[in-house]
Structure 1
Amino acid sequence: MFNCIPLWRCNRHVETIDKRHCSLLYVPDEIFRYGRSLEELLLDANQLRDLPKQFFQLVKLRKLGLSDNEIQIIPSEIANFIQLVELDVSRNDILGIPDSISHCKALQVADFSGNPLTKIPESFTELRNLTCLSINDISLQLLPGNIGNLSNLVSLELRENVLTFLPESLSQLHKLEELDLGNNELYSLPQSIGHLVSLKDLWLDGNHLTEIPAELGNIKSLLCLDVSENKLEKLPEEMGGLVSLTDLLVSQNNIDSVPESIGKLRKLSILKVDQNQLAYLPESIGNCESLTELVLTENQLQSLPRSIGKLKRLFHLNCDRNQLLSLPKEIGGCSSLNVFCVRENRLTRIPSELSQATELHVLDVSGNRLTHLPLSLTTLQLKALWLSENQSQPLLTFQTDQDPKSGEKVLTCVLLPQQPSDDKGSDNLARCGGMESLVNDIANETWDNNAVNRTSVIHFVDGDDDDDDDDAGTLLRRATPHPDQLKSMKRAAENLRNDMNAAKGLDSNKNEVNNAADSVTTSV
């Protein structure tokens, strides 16, 4: 025989309720029956628009998740949550934060990201226990002037706002370890940023900074610094004071040199200086003994320092799209090098010492001016060797040949010697003699020669012939235009000739232009 259980025992002791991704339009009434015990409530990713007053009687709550809903207003009754430790209302439609939130004295983690907020109330800075604050992507224009009162703040995320300056009180956050100011409208940094002595990660990417204050070098604990996508023209010599730095990202700026003090960063593991104006790297780069990734793409480098061979841990080296004329033989000292890219430079040879980098698996030398490859490369366990962008396979079949100048044995294949990289010529080839290319070239009086001398990627050269006898020693395959392209070329030439004849102030160049157009018309 069963005995009836008293009603007060039917009200179970529930501490956690998870109703995420349940397509809720309103807060279920069943939740309110656990008001005396409920500590964690997760209602993220629903369709909630309002929070009823009864909701704020859940005074035992310590963690509340309301992200990815359609909530527009946070009622002032939020002050009832005096035990709340974590609050996530990110990605809603909240227009403002009530001043009464200052009564949530236990709050440590708060996320207001992705709301149409424009400001944070001054009373918010009374939350002295706050350690992590995220207010990303809310169109925030100003930080509270007394933000320094949040003395226990460890992480502050302010990414994708419209901040134009930082208050001086920010420097009072002596416990701050993570500061994200990426994608704002900052034009300068206060010198006092050097007072953030506990800072480990600093993101300043996507702003309008023209310089970095020297005081930043005082942050001895800094591990990661990202100042990419700004307008920096140089890095301060004081950067050498960042002795704990492991990641330095300065991509997409206008930097023309790296300071000598870079050699003091013995713990630096990743250095990205791509898309700048670098003309050289200092020899001190060889002292960055922990460097594993070095990205120098799209600069103006003509050479690499010999000290680069000291980087025994370097795994990835990318020097694509520079102006490198040669590589130092010391490059073979990079014993851990696995990926080496020097695409689109002006290299005429690869040093045989590269074979000493026994861990090398990927080598990209396409878009250079190589006549052959050193025979020593056969000792490497290469998985990919790129000589051309349109290779059908990552590895080609090579033959042994003899260099007529030095007499040494070398490697050659159907893609060697490479054609000199010429932006103008490659542009013409890419357009296949289209009308726009034709008009541009005739206007520059160079199309006729380019069209006659244009060759395919494949050609065969007799090494004993002189440059003057190229025609006799070279088998050329002419690039044949499509008939429609021939008609377009003819029309473009005739139109250009007529336009230039009708222009005023024709000088002696008139005859040359007409002759160029006539030759095209006749050939078509």
Structure 2
Amino acid sequence: MLKCIPLWRCNRHVESVDKRHCNLQNVPDEIFRYSRSLEELLLDANQLRDLPKPFFRLLNLRKLGLSDNEIQRLPPEVANFMQLVELDISRNDIPEIPESIKFCKALEIADFSGNPLSRLPDGFTQLRGLAHLALNDPDTLGALPKLRELWLDRNQLSSLPPELGNLRRLVCLDMSENRLEELPSELSGLLALTDLLLTHNLLEVVPDSIGSLKQLSILKVDQNRLTHLSDSIGECENLTELVLTENLLQTLPRSLGKLKKLTNLNADRNRLGSVPDELGGCASLNVLSLRDNRVAKLPAQLADATELHVLDVAGNRLQNLPFALANLNLKAMWLAENQSQPMLKFQTEDEESTGEKVLTCYLLPQQPSSSLGELALLRHLLHHNLLPPLSLPLFSSFFLGFSLFTDFLYLFLHTLCISSFLHFL
């Protein structure tokens, strides 16, 4: 005699369940029916507060997404997930990771960021296969030898442990948007590092040990307080992209000319008064951006960078351009903020003081304008809470987040309060 089999019994072999953005307050009971087959479970962006005991019977899980919930505790039963490869519990209210996490031996990708973690458990260092980690607190990281990607961005970190240098296989390190004032010299131990992201910190120097990073391809140190860039940067022989925007640099090191693979150099909004002749030695340079500085003259040797296609020197103090630049196959040369076309028509004339042939056009000599550079600096100081507070809380909250005009007006009010402070920068 045939019997009707319930639909839920027919559907027990389910490998993936996606319940993201479903306003769930509890883990649906139906999920527990798939304990023998379920490998991927996505419960991100709900209102979950607790994980029930049956949840930890999903022994075949390989990927678990619980980000953007209200979970307050990760139970020790997480040790049951011995097949788990990827775990995302970011942006919850979890104060600690249980010691039993050490039994998740297959774990390769873990995101714990956005939780009020005070520390990582000692057993965490036993996760020898972990290759990608995102979290708030960098302590104990040195004992994770297989770690390849480390994301520490958007925290309030003011320092890094020297043990960071033990991560010999680390390829990508993102420490953007923190409060770092210095980097440990042990950074030189990151011999496999290709991407180093340090945007939006408080760094005044990059350590000389940066030259030990022979595999480094991308270095972003924009929006810091750099007053000096170490000559050792020229030893980073594989560097292709260097971003130094919005710092306090007055010079660039001559050793940059040794970077034969450098394709993109951006040093906008600094205090550069000159450009080193050696920059012409950057044989692969495609884009050079020096916008909003104080450069009065470009070196003729820049024409030796024969791959240069984009040159942005708007907002400087140039009187003319070297005649040799006419030999470059430029596709864009920017001399002014309001320039309508990427390329201009140049005329040749003799410079009065030297008699040398130079290039000129209707946008030369440049009219110096530092307002944009000052605005960028003030925004940077404001972001890091380095400005004295205005006694206008109503107006300041009103101005913040509006257009460039209101943004500038807000910052102008700050400028009136801190002119003496800026004088010493």
Tell me the TM-score normalized by structure 1: 0.63
Pairwise CA RMSD: 3.2
Question: Partners of 1:370 and 1:204 in 2: how far apart?
Answer: 36
2:254 counterpart residue number = 306
1:180 counterpart residue number = 151
* Pairwise CA distance, 1:374: 1.9
Within-5 A mapping of 1:83-482: 83-158=60-135, 163=137, 166=139, 168=140, 170-214=141-185, 216-217=186-187, 239=188, 241-421=189-369
Question: Partners of 1:99 and 1:46 in 2: how far apart?
Answer: 26
Question: Partners of 2:321 and 2:350 in 1: how far apart?
Answer: 11
1:49 counterpart residue number = 25
Verify the 8 A CA contact 2:150 2:170 in the aligned structure 1: yes
Verify the 8 A CA contact 2:170 2:193 in the aligned structure 1: no
Question: Partners of 2:230 and 2:28 in 1: how far apart?
Answer: 64
* Pairwise CA distance, 1:7: 5.3
Are the structure 2 counterparts of residues 209 and 330 from structure 1 closer, same or farther at C-alpha, using a change threshold of 3 Å? closer
Encode CA deviations 1:241-267: one digit per residue, 9 max, x unaligned: 433332233333444444444333332
1:79 counterpart residue number = 56
Verify the 8 A CA contact 2:240 2:261 in the aligned structure 1: yes
Question: Partners of 2:207 and 2:160 in 1: how far apart?
Answer: 20
Question: Rg bigger for which structure?
Answer: 1
Question: Partners of 1:365 and 1:196 in 2: how far apart?
Answer: 39
Verify the 8 A CA contact 2:174 2:198 in the aligned structure 1: no
Question: Partners of 1:254 and 1:93 in 2: how far apart?
Answer: 33
Where 1:286 maps in the other structure, the secondary structure is helix
Is it true that 1:58 corresponds to 2:34 in the alignment? yes
Verify the 8 A CA contact 1:76 1:99 in the aligned structure 2: no
- Structure 1 window deviating more from structure 2 (90-99 vs 385-394): it is 90-99
Where 1:405 maps in the other structure, the secondary structure is coil
* Pairwise CA distance, 1:210: 4.1
Question: Partners of 1:104 and 1:422 in 2: how far apart?
Answer: 58
Are the structure 2 counterparts of residues 109 and 317 from structure 1 closer, same or farther at C-alpha, using a change threshold of 3 Å? closer
Verify the 8 A CA contact 1:398 1:412 in the aligned structure 2: yes
Task: Tell me the amino acid that sits aligned with residue 364 of structure 2.
Answer: L
Question: Partners of 1:302 and 1:187 in 2: how far apart?
Answer: 25
* Pairwise CA distance, 1:125: 4.1
Where 2:285 maps in the other structure, the secondary structure is coil
Question: Partners of 1:96 and 1:259 in 2: how far apart?
Answer: 40
Encode CA deviations 1:321-348: one digit per residue, 9 max, x unaligned: 2333322333222222111122222222
Within-5 A mapping of 1:506-517: none
Verify the 8 A CA contact 1:155 1:179 in the aligned structure 2: yes
| Runs (5+) with no aligned partner, structure 1 | 12-28, 218-238, 428-524
Where 1:401 maps in the other structure, the secondary structure is strand
Question: Partners of 1:328 and 1:119 in 2: how far apart?
Answer: 51
Are the structure 2 counterparts of residues 411 and 269 from structure 1 closer, same or farther at C-alpha, using a change threshold of 3 Å? same
* Pairwise CA distance, 1:306: 3.0
Where 1:400 maps in the other structure, the secondary structure is strand
**Greater relative contact order (Cα < 8 A, sep 6+):** 2
Where 2:242 maps in the other structure, the secondary structure is strand
Where 1:148 maps in the other structure, the secondary structure is helix
* Pairwise CA distance, 1:387: 1.5
Task: Tell me the amino acid that sits aligned with residue 84 of structure 2.
Answer: L
Where 1:367 maps in the other structure, the secondary structure is coil
Verify the 8 A CA contact 1:77 1:100 in the aligned structure 2: no
* Pairwise CA distance, 1:389: 0.9
Are the structure 2 counterparts of residues 174 and 301 from structure 1 closer, same or farther at C-alpha, using a change threshold of 3 Å? closer
Verify the 8 A CA contact 1:76 1:101 in the aligned structure 2: no
Where 2:150 maps in the other structure, the secondary structure is strand
Question: Partners of 1:264 and 1:173 in 2: how far apart?
Answer: 21
Question: Partners of 2:101 and 2:194 in 1: how far apart?
Answer: 34
Question: Partners of 2:230 and 2:133 in 1: how far apart?
Answer: 35
Are the structure 2 counterparts of residues 257 and 122 from structure 1 closer, same or farther at C-alpha, using a change threshold of 3 Å? closer
Where 1:206 maps in the other structure, the secondary structure is coil
- Percent identical pairs in the alignment equals 45
Where 1:120 maps in the other structure, the secondary structure is coil
How many positions carry a matched residue from both structures? 373
Question: Partners of 2:328 and 2:251 in 1: how far apart?
Answer: 24
Tell me the TM-score normalized by structure 2: 0.75
* Pairwise CA distance, 1:375: 2.1
